[in-house]
């Protein structure tokens, strides 16, 4: 019988129209953002027990702030300033959880907030304000509620009259329960300029697309998105490889490679260096030399300055890997100082010397006694 009644009850409940969700307000959004910031940042359960929203003048604002509260000055759009006042009980709980990892049932004695306290709760404030802004992104309240972050703190409310503008403020006052069972309590007051200076609400996803009309502010949004995308793309790392020479070796020669082994590199490689991107794609050609004591690669115009043809040495497929090619001399390339033949393996930093570097780079005197691009074997373990 109970099973039959249970089935009938489920069918009846399935036919009911679900109640509409409560509309989102700024006060409700702030409570959700505070709870998420406390849970994500400190694993501290937090819930709102009372919310009050009102408008106050600058002269009335100090009356809403609890004694010994930490006063965090917030900076927002168009140089607007707001205030977040954290009650001593909430401040003590936040500091206690961050320092000890737990929340004791009894609150400590109230004390005056310090700069160290402000530094420790600044991340919690910014996290909560970011979540507050995200929840209200598509609502009209975002104009006055969005864009604020922690800037500094005050240990005395008396300078507020000089620091903040003499305008009306929207004040959200919350009473909070902290801990798994709500054994600790606290309070927070958020005061922001009533006349918003922030961005317009974000269009609801799909609302204008379904109506077939362009979204409000779509051109500005597209430009902003394009700039943001360009900034992100231009900051992405791009790996370029400067390839001096490639060899084809038999497997036996590869297995025999060890530090000190010599690989033949033709003279033409010094003046026909390849700059390759992802997948070995040729991006530019260059010449190897030095600039101000550093090894350098000068990029060349391949059409205007073709690499000189030079007979390549016998490949390593027909000669042992340790074959030392004969030493030859070649005239140093123009606009770049010659590089002395390496005497021993030693690391040297790379510097990129582009075409058109200007007279400053060309004015450096070249070494007096240097051997021009002489052929030298590349030793395993050496660093270019």
Taking only the tens place, the pLDDT of each residue in 100-156 is 999 998 889 889 999 999 999 999 999 999 999 999 999 999 999 999 999 999 988
**Average pLDDT for 288-312:** 65
Q: Of 133, 167, 200, which one is at a domain's C-terminal end?
A: 200
| Residue-level pLDDT at 319 | 43
Distance CA 74, CA 154 (A): 11
Range from 115-119, 355-359, 362-366 carrying the lowest mean pLDDT? 355-359
Residue 318 lies in a domain: yes
Q: Same domain for 132 and 254?
A: no
| Residue-level pLDDT at 14 | 58
Q: Same domain for 131 and 266?
A: no
Q: Of 140, 175, 200, which one is at a domain's C-terminal end?
A: 200
Residue 183 lies in a domain: yes
| CB-count exposure of residue 258 (10 Å: 0-12, 13-18, 19+) | exposed
Q: Same domain for 369 and 296?
A: yes
- The strand pairing partners of 192, in sequence order, are 170
Residue 142 lies in a domain: yes
Q: Hey, which of 3-12, 237-246, 372-381 has the most confident mean pLDDT? A: 237-246
| Residue-level pLDDT at 380 | 53
Q: Does residue 154 or residue 20 have the better pLDDT?
A: 154
Q: Same domain for 289 and 192?
A: no
Residue 6 lies in a domain: no
Q: Which residues contact 122 (CB under 8 A, 6 or more apart)?
A: 72, 150
Residue 205 lies in a domain: no
If you average pLDDT over every residue of the chain, what do you get?
A: 77
* CATH number of the domain bearing residue 48: 3.40.1550.10
**Average pLDDT for 69-92:** 94
Residue 206 lies in a domain: no
Distance CA 100, CA 276 (A): 54
Cβ atoms 77, 199 nearer than 8 A = yes
Q: Same domain for 176 and 250?
A: no
Q: Same domain for 181 and 44?
A: yes
Confidence band for 87, pLDDT divided at 50, 70 and 90? very high
Q: Same domain for 195 and 252?
A: no
In the chain, how many domains are there?
A: 2
Q: Hey, which of 82-91, 192-201, 224-233 has the most confident mean pLDDT? A: 82-91
Q: Same domain for 193 and 247?
A: no
| Residue-level pLDDT at 329 | 45
| pTM over 0.95, yes/no | no
Tally helices (H) and strands (E) across the chain.
10, 13
Axis crossing angle, helix 115-135 with helix 26-42, rounded to the nearest 10: 120
Q: Same domain for 279 and 179?
A: no
Residue 346 pLDDT more than 70? no
| Residue-level pLDDT at 356 | 39
Residue 176 pLDDT more than 90? yes
Range from 6-20, 26-40, 261-275 carrying the lowest mean pLDDT? 6-20
Q: Which residues contact 290 (CB under 8 A, 6 or more apart)?
A: 296, 336, 337, 338, 339
**Average pLDDT for 223-251:** 84
**Cβ atoms < 10 Å from Cβ of 98:** 15
| Residue-level pLDDT at 211 | 46
Residue 43 pLDDT more than 90? yes
Cβ atoms 288, 339 nearer than 8 A = yes
| Residue-level pLDDT at 209 | 45
Confidence band for 325, pLDDT divided at 50, 70 and 90? very low
Helix (H) / strand (E) containing 353: strand 350-353
Residue 210 lies in a domain: no
**Average pLDDT for 305-330:** 42
- What is the span of the domain harbouring residue 73? 22-200
Q: Same domain for 89 and 139?
A: yes
Q: Same domain for 183 and 272?
A: no
Residue 264 pLDDT more than 60? yes
Percent of the chain whose predicted confidence (pLDDT) is above 70: 69
Q: Of 173, 200, 227, which one is at a domain's C-terminal end?
A: 200
Residue 266 pLDDT more than 90? no
Residue 224 lies in a domain: no
**Cβ atoms < 10 Å from Cβ of 270:** 23
| Residue-level pLDDT at 121 | 95
| Residue-level pLDDT at 205 | 61
Q: Same domain for 186 and 289?
A: no
**Average pLDDT for 216-234:** 74
Residue 348 pLDDT more than 60? no
Residue 240 pLDDT more than 80? yes
Residue 233 pLDDT more than 60? yes
């Amino acid at each position: 019988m109970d099973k039959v009644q249970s089935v009938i009850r489920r069918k009846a409940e399935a036919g009911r129209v679900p109640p509409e969700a409560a509309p989102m307000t700024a006060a409700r959004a702030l409570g959700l953002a505070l709870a998420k910031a406390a849970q994500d940042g400190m694993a501290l359960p937090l819930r709102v027990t009372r919310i009050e929203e009102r408008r106050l003048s600058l002269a009335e604002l100090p009356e809403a702030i609890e004694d010994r509260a930490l006063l965090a000055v917030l900076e927002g759009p168009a140089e607007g300033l707001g205030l977040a006042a954290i009650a001593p009980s909430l401040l003590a709980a936040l500091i206690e959880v961050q320092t000890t990892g737990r929340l004791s049932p009894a609150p400590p004695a109230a004390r005056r907030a310090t700069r160290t306290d402000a530094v420790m709760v600044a991340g919690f404030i910014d996290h909560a304000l970011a979540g507050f802004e995200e929840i209200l992104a598509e609502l009209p309240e975002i104009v006055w509620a969005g864009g604020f972050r922690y800037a500094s703190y005050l240990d005395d409310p008396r300078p507020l009259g000089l620091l903040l503008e003499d305008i009306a403020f929207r004040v959200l006052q919350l009473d909070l329960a902290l801990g798994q069972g709500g054994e600790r309590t606290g309070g927070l007051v958020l005061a922001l300029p009533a006349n918003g200076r922030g961005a317009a609400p974000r269009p609801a996803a799909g609302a204008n697309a379904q109506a077939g009309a362009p979204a409000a502010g779509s051109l500005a949004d597209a430009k902003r998105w394009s700039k943001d995308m360009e900034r992100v793309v231009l900051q992405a790392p791009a790996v370029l490889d400067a390839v001096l020479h490639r060899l084809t070796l038999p497997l036996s020669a590869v297995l025999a490679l060890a530090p000190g082994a010599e690989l033949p590199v033709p003279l033409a490689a010094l003046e026909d260096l390849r700059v390759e991107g992802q997948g070995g794609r040729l991006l530019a050609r260059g010449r190897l030399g030095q600039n101000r004591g550093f090894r350098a690669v000068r990029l060349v115009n391949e059409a205007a300055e073709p690499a000189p043809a030079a007979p390549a040495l016998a490949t390593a497929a027909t000669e042992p890997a340790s074959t030392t090619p004969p030493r030859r001399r070649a005239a140093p390339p123009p606009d770049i100082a010659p590089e002395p033949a390496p005497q021993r393996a030693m690391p040297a930093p790379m510097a990129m010397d582009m075409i058109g570097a200007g007279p400053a780079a060309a004015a450096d005197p070249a070494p007096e006694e240097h051997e021009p691009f002489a052929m030298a074997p590349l030793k395993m373990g050496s660093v270019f």
